[in-house]
Structure 1
Amino acid sequence: MLDLNVLPERSLGNEQWSFALGMPLSQIVQILQTHCRVIKSVEVIYQEKRPIESDLVLNLNSDGIKLVFDSTAQRLKVIEVFNMSKVKLKYCGNYFNSPQNKPTPEQIEQAFGATRPGQYDASLQSYIVSFRGLTFFFPVDAQFENFFAKHSLSSATSSLPTDFIPAVSRMCIYAGSQLNETTAPAMPLSCYHGNLYLDSAEVSFKENGKECDGLDLKLITVPDNKNETIILEKSVKFGDSVQQVLAILGSPCKIFYKLQDKMKIHSASPRKLNETRHTDYFYNYFTLGIDILFDGKFHQVKKFLLHTNFPGHYNFNIYYRCDFKIKLLGEENCVDVTPCTLWNDVIGQLPFDVGKPVVLNRASSTNNTNPFGSNFCFGLRNMIFEVMSNNHIASVTLYNPQKQLK
């Protein structure tokens, strides 16, 4: 049984780990993987067809905990304990829920103090008591519904037989004063760990407005010995050297060397199948949601990959979501493309046909199964949009149309 400390409007955790409001999905998953011997059952719940329209949920069934994430920001929005019998909970060192301490109204008031009178919700058949950033649900027996609807919880329970005094069935931790109005807060300073994170990335274009030439980035970090975030505005362009990229973004999370390029077959170049002595390589910036491909001979930027990190994609949770913005010239005005834009909405506003897609089936070299099926790659100028079967964009590849780097 998990023994956890409750911090209203902040977190739920213990000395080894903590689920903090505003924490990115990737960091939560890392905690679950590290402590898999203790937290044994995790279920991912999301809308497959419309993943933006509802929250993404991690359900810890064995521990009675539900972690609710904002589907756009992919940060923790609500921590819910839906089975109080599976966890021990304390506040300021005092247990208010354990096998020895039943979470009755008296126990909650003793642990957290007085608060505003609660409200009875007939649709939930529950009496709801709220503190700032914390809400408790007390189920009410059907025969006492009218009684609780007219009386406060304390006065109602004092008039009931002991066997009918309700105990907390659910508890929610959130930011703000209203559970139904809460949003995911900004990422806590404790989650930065000295890394750079992406606030936004705007694809820059050449003067003709048709070919992209790089990225304009807004980066967020917390400097050493500082208690506040700072925003850095940087640009990375095609043709930038490795040294220039390292000076701007720092060391990558990982370096990956390409063994082969399976897309070469679609090239019109007569030398597309010639062997090369120089291996191209990626700098993987997972916390930015960006990969940068360098030419193996000249060591200059030749491609950018921007990841949207949708559940149901083969690479889900490897990258943070890249919050990019691409301005495409439409028939009457600019078409803004973001990670949440549906592909049909993009092509419906373009004055030309993007043509038929290339079918992409991602599979590992060690495990040739992909439960999520194939995606479709559409070429648009010097960009490639990878689109999932639910019409959402999985990734965008920006490539340098110049044939020779130097």
Structure 2
Amino acid sequence: MFIYFLSLQQPQVRSNDSDIVNLPCDNWAILLPGPMLDLEVVPERSLGNEQWEFTLGMPLAQAVAILQKHCRIIKNVQVLYSEQSPLSHDLILNLTQDGIKLLFDAFNQRLKVIEVYDLTKVKLKYCGVHFNSQAIAPTIEQIDQSFGATHPGVYNSAEQLFHLNFRGLSFSFQLDSWTETPKYEPNFAHGLASLQIPHGATVKRMYIYSGNSLQDTKAPPMPLSCFLGNVYAESVDVLRDGAGPSGLRLRLLTAGCGPGVLADAKMRVFERCVYFGDSCQDVLSTLGSPHKVFYKSEDKMKIHSPSPHKQVPSKCNDYFFNYFTLGVDILFDANTHKVKKFVLHTNYPGHYNFNIYHRCEFKIPLAIKRESTDSQMETCTTYSKWDSIQDLLGHPVEKPVVLHRSSSPNNTNPFGSTFCFGLQRMIFEVMQNNHIASVTLYGPARPSGQLKTVDLPHEENNTPSLHQSAQRKDVCRKLMELRPGRNPGSHLLLPVSQRQARGLPSVPALGRSRFHQLRLGIYGSQL
């Protein structure tokens, strides 16, 4: 298990000789004991107060955002995960100063269990009434008074813990200080206080989870309150042509929760496709505005091109659309403003970009060529390991390019370097534990004639006659003379006689679809 302390204001670092590093939020505040947290317990849902709330099903990034915002109150946060097998253990945020652990599912990275393992460091209340504080001990009698009767508990002799289970809530009592094992009868169900447990036994741990069983619990779907106007990707399928990827098909989730209508909000599920060669406007209308736009300052990989010394420096830079909640980056060409690259992020802990993106649940079809058989399609997913992909290929892959990431020239990457393998117009960035950190997709842009002119009438040699050219110029002139604020295409709905009376051109002679294309071209040039 790998442990590091999460800095709430500074980047995470790891020393070379130790796996544990303490990064204080504030040089003075970290030394002063903060006020004890006073939190409301909602079984099968959440733990929080009026300012913030940890909700089951919440994405990891939102929980970290809460910790960052309240870093002067919640301090000393550890991130625990398995460095070699990140999918075999839950990802844990350990609030050491407050005795709270947040357990996130290793696959979907949503909050699965909230554990309070030290009740002396926090105040707890249920329905506004405290059952644990400096003045109130969480005894078996207090739990019975606050939560009422429940099914008989379960005694674990190996852990010497007695578990009392409610729906979505469990309490564990430590029995190691008792003189004898409690006389537990499974069929005895007359209330908690009537069980033969020594008087005054206090709660050792408390768990909040979804369902009836802590052992079988799973992270619930993301609550509507966690969408916050964002769009999330349930799955991302890579589309491909004969040679490689051609685009993405995204299955998206969102919740229309405007102000005051949260109770009526419903989750919406829809699909969108984005292709290589799509314009910037196409992507904006398909996926919406990105969370951030990043302009590339230089291309560090151009040295691997056949003639890097012949490349002329560009006067303008390519730019990325960063969709953090989708786990996707889209690169646009600086000159054509068309899509030229997709980057899919897996958000594994131990990677340099961890917790910047949400995990992209992608599926990539790979063409596998075998001897004496036709090529077959195998699927690479977010959870595939690189050695398994190499086994499917059946042939050695070229040596990788070693990638060193750092935030500045003087800083080193605390998580080490990664390795980039090229395959079928894709670059797989592989971590040292063999998991895929990101996949970069390349593809030829579609011909410009296929983007928006599929509905144009065919003309011989695609060369307009002199009469048609003059007629188009007349259409442009008439459109530019329209009053500002008026719909440029509204006169198309007028009868022919009224168009002639107003001196408007005879649009049907041009073809309606061509007129729309021409109108789009006029106004598009002004953007």
TM-score range, shorter chain: over 0.9
Local SS of the residue matching 1:348: helix
2:65 partner letter: Q
Distance of 2:294 and 2:178 partners within structure 1: 65
Contact preservation (8 Å) 1:125, 1:142? no
Distance of 2:134 and 2:384 partners within structure 1: 49
Contact preservation (8 Å) 1:115, 1:130? yes
Task: Tell me which of 182, 199, 213 is aligned to 2:246.
Answer: 213
- When structure 1 is superposed on structure 2, of 265-274 and 303-312 the one drifting more is 265-274
TM-score, length-scaled by structure 2 = 0.73
Cα deviation, residue 144, structure 1? 4.0
Distance of 1:194 and 1:142 partners within structure 2: 51
1:341 and 2:380 aligned: no
The runs of at least 4 consecutive aligned structure 1 residues that moved more than 6 Å come to 403-406
* Percent identity between the two aligned chains: 56
Per the alignment, residue 137 of structure 1 pairs with 172
Q: Within 5 A, what are the aligned runs for 1:108-147?
A: 108-141=143-176, 143-147=178-182
1:154 and 2:189 aligned: no
* Shift in alpha-carbon separation, 1:4–1:367, aligned structure 2, 3 A: farther
Contact preservation (8 Å) 1:218, 1:231? yes
TM-score, length-scaled by structure 1 = 0.95
2:328 partner letter: I
1:196-223 superposed Cα distances (whole Å, 9 cap, x missing partner): 10000000001x2x31111011010012
1:231 partner letter: V
Task: Tell me which of 338, 351, 356 is aligned to 2:399.
Answer: 356
* Shift in alpha-carbon separation, 1:367–1:74, aligned structure 2, 3 A: farther
Distance of 2:99 and 2:83 partners within structure 1: 24
Distance of 1:272 and 1:74 partners within structure 2: 45
Per the alignment, residue 321 of structure 1 pairs with 359
Distance of 1:401 and 1:359 partners within structure 2: 25
1:168-199 superposed Cα distances (whole Å, 9 cap, x missing partner): 01000000000000000000000001111000
Contact preservation (8 Å) 1:331, 1:349? no
Per the alignment, residue 468 of structure 2 pairs with none
Per the alignment, residue 106 of structure 1 pairs with 141
Contact preservation (8 Å) 1:211, 1:381? yes
Q: Within 5 A, what are the aligned runs for 1:246-285?
A: 246-269=284-307, 273-285=311-323
* Shift in alpha-carbon separation, 1:121–1:259, aligned structure 2, 3 A: same
1:366-398 superposed Cα distances (whole Å, 9 cap, x missing partner): 652111111000000210000000000000000
Task: Tell me which of 102, 119, 135 is aligned to 1:67.
Answer: 102
* Shift in alpha-carbon separation, 1:67–1:148, aligned structure 2, 3 A: farther
Q: Within 5 A, what are the aligned runs for 1:7-406?
A: 7-141=42-176, 143-150=178-185, 154-156=193-195, 160=198, 162=199, 165-206=200-241, 208=242, 210-224=243-257, 225=261, 226-269=264-307, 273-331=311-369, 333-365=376-408, 368-401=411-444
Contact preservation (8 Å) 1:127, 1:148? no
Runs (5+) with no aligned partner, structure 1: none
Report which structure shows greater RCO (CA 8 Å, sep ≥6): 1
Aligned length: 400
Larger CA Rg, structure 1 vs 2 = 2
Cα deviation, residue 404, structure 1? 9.3
* Shift in alpha-carbon separation, 1:241–1:52, aligned structure 2, 3 A: same
Distance of 1:139 and 1:92 partners within structure 2: 26
- RMSD across aligned positions (CA): 1.8
Distance of 1:290 and 1:402 partners within structure 2: 19
Local SS of the residue matching 2:251: strand
Local SS of the residue matching 1:185: coil
Cα deviation, residue 127, structure 1? 1.1
* Shift in alpha-carbon separation, 1:405–1:398, aligned structure 2, 3 A: farther
Cα deviation, residue 26, structure 1? 0.2
Greater percentage in strand: 1
Local SS of the residue matching 1:180: coil
